[in-house]
Amino acid sequence: MKREDTLRKIIHVDMDAFFAAVEQRDNPELRGKPVIVGGKPGGRGVVSTCSYEARKFGVRSAMPTNEAYRLCPHGIFVRSNFEAYKEASTIVRNIFFEYTDLVEPLSLDEAYLDVTENHKGNPSATLIAEEIRARIFEETQLTASAGVAPNKFVAKIASDYNKPNGLTVITPNKVEEFVEQLEIKKFFGVGKATQKKMHALGIKTGADLKQWSEIDLVKAFGKSGRYYYRIARGIDDREVKPHRTRKSYGKERTFSEDVGDLDWVNTFLDDLATQISDGMRKIPTAGKTITLKVRYKNFDTITRSHSLAHYTNKAEEISTVAKQLLEQTEAGTREIRLLGISLSNLNLIEKEYWEQLELGV
Ligand code: TTP
Ligand code: MG
């Protein structure tokens, strides 16, 4: 194994029963019930996903809704509401970016994070994963499962291991043991047809697969044999590739005591704007829309936004706008437990533009 493999800290996060969980959150009468998202039975649609209550009856993603109805006739069939899922997805993704820029989203509800080096300077990937799951719940009232491992292959399987609302940590010294006891069907990247063939050859678990030499695996499975040889040993050096551009940049803070003093709040906004400005200049990026987020003592959370005609990452400008936005809130009359500022409508800055901002012209 390459030395770097053992040193990386990868987290895979996957929301639980994502579309169905959003529906249950937004419609309390659906909670605790078998909810099936997709078309109504009788049509030709398929199931997008279903709640864990419905999974007990064998309902699964991509199954025709008619079959789901046969398995679970008392299930509640609901149509998907993509806007709500997108909104939750954006909130979750922005939480990831608070920890690292190396975020590789796989879908609306799933991503790899490389936290080997992270914005919090936190050396424990396990603590980061727990913090992220807690933050996701706080911000969206939805649960996520996470896997922590030295590589993507193991992290992804680990996040699925204790679903829903679970965390599985596979430290480098446990990787081989973990992979050995896995059933082949849990191996990501081993399709149904290959599974069948492996079963016919007596390969049922990771340990069975490990018995095979690389040459024999290539003979039996072609080029993929090399991949199987490596994953049987828990080796995967694929990098986390952030293929999407960042949508917003911001910071927020929950106070240890609720705050009523407006002067204190204004000074805090100055500090926050300075931190944001520093962070954005590092990337470098600038944004047009400034959003202030306020969470009151009773957890009511509001946002107020203002869009400029130009891009900025200047601390002074950010704090001036944030203070104007603060006047549109009940700060001063209601106590505040959290304050945040973020910039969106971002532009990754070209070198010349960056220099222009630096010079303030
Ligand atoms: P998944 O993460 O695969 O499934 P899930 O979040 O519903 O359940 P869990 O992770 O707890 O096993 O997919 C995320 C969302 O993508 C899912 O909620 C709905 C959508 N989706 C489809 O629309 N069709 C599909 O075939 C799959 C697999 C997912
Ligand atoms: Mg999911």
81-84: Cβ within 8 A, 24+ apart: 81/22, 81/23, 81/26, 84/22, 84/26
Compute, in angstroms, the gap from residue 300 CA to the centroid of ligand 2. Answer: 27
Relative to the alpha carbon of 81, which ligand is closest? 1
List pLDDT tens digits, range 212-230: 999 999 999 888 899 999 9
pLDDT > 90 in the chain, percent: 74
Residue located nearest, by CA, to atom 5 of ligand 1: 17
Look at residue 144 and tell me whether its pLDDT is greater than 90. yes
Residue located nearest, by CA, to atom 8 of ligand 1: 17
Residue 249 structure tokens:
């940049």
48 lines ligand 1 (CB under 6 A): yes
Question: In whole angstroms, what is the distance from residue 190 CA to residue 52 CA?
Answer: 25
Compute, in angstroms, the gap from residue 15 CA to the centroid of ligand 2. Answer: 4
Strand partners of residue 296: 336
Closest to 9 measured CA to CA, from 150, 127, 129: 150
Question: In whole angstroms, what is the distance from residue 251 CA to residue 279 CA?
Answer: 10
Enumerate domains of the chain plus CATH numbers.
14-149 (3.30.70.270), 176-231 (1.10.150.20), 248-346 (3.30.1490.100)
Look at residue 238 and tell me whether its pLDDT is greater than 70. yes
The predicted pLDDT at position 1 comes to 43
Sheet containing strand 35-38, edge to edge, reads 47-50, 35-38, 76-78
Compute, in angstroms, the gap from residue 15 CA to the centroid of ligand 1. Answer: 9
Q: What is the mean pLDDT of residues 244-252?
A: 80
Question: Per mean pLDDT, which range of 123-127, 240-244, 303-307 is the poorest?
Answer: 240-244
Strands 35-38 and 76-78: parallel
Compute, in angstroms, the gap from residue 18 CA to the centroid of ligand 2. Answer: 5
The predicted pLDDT at position 243 comes to 65
Q: Is 189 left (phi over 0), alpha (psi -120 to 50) or beta?
A: left
| Contact indicator for 349, 285 with CB cutoff of 8 Å | yes
| Contact indicator for 259, 297 with CB cutoff of 8 Å | no
Judge whether 130 counts as a catalytic residue. Answer: no
List pLDDT tens digits, range 30-53: 999 999 998 788 877 788 899 999
170 lines ligand 1 (CB under 6 A): no
23 lines ligand 1 (CB under 6 A): no
List pLDDT tens digits, range 61-117: 889 899 999 999 999 999 888 889 889 998 999 999 999 999 998 778 999 999 999
14 lines ligand 1 (CB under 6 A): yes
163 lines ligand 1 (CB under 6 A): yes
Compute, in angstroms, the gap from residue 311 CA to the centroid of ligand 2. Answer: 35
The predicted pLDDT at position 283 comes to 64
CA contacts within 13 A on the Cβ side of 58: 9
16 lines ligand 1 (CB under 6 A): yes
Question: Per mean pLDDT, which range of 259-263, 273-277, 281-285, 317-321 is the poorest?
Answer: 281-285
The predicted pLDDT at position 298 comes to 94
236 lines ligand 1 (CB under 6 A): no
Strands 144-149 and 103-107: unpaired
Residue located nearest, by CA, to atom 4 of ligand 1: 17
Of 110, 130, 176, 330, which one is the catalytic site residue? 110
Compute, in angstroms, the gap from residue 108 CA to the centroid of ligand 1. Answer: 9
Residue located nearest, by CA, to atom 15 of ligand 1: 18
Q: Find the helix packing angle between 18-26 and 82-99, rounded to 10°.
A: 110
Question: In whole angstroms, what is the distance from residue 90 CA to residue 44 CA?
Answer: 31
Residue located nearest, by CA, to atom 23 of ligand 1: 48
Q: What is the mean pLDDT of residues 8-23?
A: 97
Banded model confidence at residue 24, pLDDT cuts 50, 70, 90: very high
| Contact indicator for 183, 199 with CB cutoff of 8 Å | no
| Contact indicator for 237, 218 with CB cutoff of 8 Å | no
Which secondary structure element, helix H or strand E, spans residue 87, and what is its range? helix 82-99
The predicted pLDDT at position 244 comes to 59
Banded model confidence at residue 357, pLDDT cuts 50, 70, 90: very low
The predicted pLDDT at position 360 comes to 39
Kindly give, in sequence order, each residue whose CB lies less than 8 Å from that of residue 102, ignoring residues fewer than 6 positions away.
113, 114, 115, 240, 242
Relative to the alpha carbon of 24, which ligand is closest? 1
Compute, in angstroms, the gap from residue 48 CA to the centroid of ligand 1. Answer: 7
The predicted pLDDT at position 245 comes to 63
C-alpha triplet 108, 113, 114: angle, nearest 5°: 160
- Residue of 12, 16, 18 with the most ligand 1 atoms within 8 Å of its CB, for mutation: 18
Question: In whole angstroms, what is the distance from residue 293 CA to residue 272 CA?
Answer: 12
175 lines ligand 1 (CB under 6 A): no
C-alpha triplet 64, 182, 11: angle, nearest 5°: 80
DSSP summary character for residue 32:
T
| Contact indicator for 19, 37 with CB cutoff of 8 Å | yes
